[in-house]
Amino acid sequence: MAKVVSFIIQKGGCGKTTTTANTAGYLAMHGFQVLAVDMDPQGNLTQHMGYDTESLDHSILDLFEGQYGFDEVILQRNETLHLLPNNLKTASAEFSLQKNSLNPDFLLRDVLAPVMNRYDYVLLDCPPAIGLFSINALAASTEFVLVVSPEFFPMKAIKPLYETFRMVKSKLNHSLQFNGIIMTMCDFRTRHSQEVRSILKKNFPHKLYNAYIRMNVSLKEASSYGQTIFEYNPHSFGAFDYQNFAEEFIRDHHKNICKKQYYQQKFETLSPGEQNQIIMFAEQSLSAFVKNGIDNADDDSSVLHEALVVERNKVLEKLFPYRMNNLVEDQS
């Protein structure tokens, strides 16, 4: 199953699109199967990937409206990097999508559900405002990364987003996780960049990525040439910084997989009675919305099942603390 990650912040021009494009480019270059999704009707990710937004045959809107299938809309940039493109037409359709769809918050989740096994990573470039498309992104994500640039006071943009996250997690997507914060456009010669980094470190000590992205003109140039930084200038600071970020991003993923396998193994060592008890505890922690979905489970219940596994693993963590059993691995 793909890891679905929203790159998001409730503020324009922080580097969300640049981060999505270059992280997708790096992962695809290293053999991961990657789907980049342009959730912003400005279409900046579509342009960054080298496509003209005005001459698209199809866009993600066709999928949301159910007019075309995934394979008709997808753009295969190369074998490992695919794109769901977007353009301004989607912005004008926002109101009617909201009004006429059966499940307006799950448009993207429903589009992705049948192709989740095709990809290792699905990376979502979110618009700067919290509206239908950002909510759709969070509702379809396994996790999200905050993209913060130092030119404003970050907590101002993070606080309202955090409230949105809590709402989405409790009402729409119980398994949504806060992956971390990547700082972009840093210039540590300025006091302001340093101050912002220390504010983030203080408020989110375990969430701030060690990697950070410096100001680098090659990143801007790469986007205007429709290339990733690794294609445009692999020797630039921009390429170096995004490589660092992507490597840290993958490492966390690997650790999560190990953790999940660990809990699964522990679960399987328990007797059927003990297993049932743990599942009962886990079910009690699920929101009414998710519970209802599990009771009426159909073929498309993978997201709901995942929510239950997350809660089950929280119970198992109390019985078999991961850190105590994996000290060697955690220190490595």
Ligand X SMILES: Nc1ncnc2c1ncn2[C@@H]1O[C@H](COP(=O)(O)OP(=O)(O)OP(=O)(O)O)[C@@H](O)[C@H]1O
> What residue ranges bind Mg ion (CB under 5 A)?
16-17, 44
SS3 content of the chain, % helix, strand, coil (to 5): 60, 15, 30
Please count the residues of the chain. 332
* 213: partner contacted, choices ligand X, Mg ion, none (Cβ within 5-8 A by kind): ligand X
Among 50, 58, 115, 128, binds ligand X (CB under 6 A): 128
Asked if 79 contacts 265 with a C-beta cutoff of 8 angstroms, the reply is: no
Residue 5 binds to ligand X (criterion: CB under 6 A): no
Among 6, 8, 10, 16, binds ligand X (CB under 6 A): 16
With respect to ligand X, which residue has the nearer C-beta, 231 or 283?
Answer: 231
| Cα–Cα distance measured from residue 218 to residue 213, given in angstroms and rounded to the nearest whole number | 12
Among 6, 10, 17, 80, binds ligand X (CB under 6 A): 17
Angle 16-29/217-224 helices, nearest 10 degrees? Answer: 80
Which residues have C-beta within 8 Å of that of residue 295, sequence separation ≥ 6? Answer: none
The enclosing H or E element of 3 equals: strand 3-8
Among 6, 18, 86, 134, binds ligand X (CB under 6 A): 18
Residue 15 binds to ligand X (criterion: CB under 6 A): yes
Task: Provide the CB-side half-sphere exposure for 75 (13 A, CA).
Answer: 22
With respect to ligand X, which residue has the nearer C-beta, 45 or 304?
Answer: 45
Distance of CA 305 to the CA centre of its chain: 19
With respect to Mg ion, which residue has the nearer C-beta, 16 or 312?
Answer: 16
Tell me the window of 11-19, 62-70, 108-116, 246-254 that interacts with ligand X (CB under 6 A).
11-19
Asked if 227 contacts 210 with a C-beta cutoff of 8 angstroms, the reply is: no
Residue 86 binds to ligand X (criterion: CB under 6 A): no
Which residues have C-beta within 8 Å of that of residue 90, sequence separation ≥ 6? Answer: 41, 59, 60, 61, 64, 133
Residue 219 binds to ligand X (criterion: CB under 6 A): yes
With respect to Mg ion, which residue has the nearer C-beta, 17 or 216?
Answer: 17
Distance of closest approach, residue 45 Cβ to ligand X, in angstroms: 8
* 12: partner contacted, choices ligand X, Mg ion, none (Cβ within 5-8 A by kind): ligand X
Distance of closest approach, residue 48 Cβ to ligand X, in angstroms: 8
Which of 85, 97, 74 is closest to 44 using CA atoms?
Answer: 85
Q: What is the token pair recorded at 84?
A: 């769901």
Q: What is the token pair recorded at 301?
A: 């219940």
Among 1, 13, 92, 100, binds ligand X (CB under 6 A): 13
| Cα–Cα distance measured from residue 304 to residue 332, given in angstroms and rounded to the nearest whole number | 33
* 87: partner contacted, choices Mg ion, ligand X, none (Cβ within 5-8 A by kind): none
Mask for 39-78, x = binds ligand X (CB under 6 A): -x-x-x----------------------------------
Planar angle of CA 53, 55, 58, nearest 5 degrees: 80
* 4: partner contacted, choices Mg ion, ligand X, none (Cβ within 5-8 A by kind): none
Binding site for ligand X (CB under 6 A): 12-18, 40, 42, 44, 128, 184-185, 213, 215-216, 219-220, 223
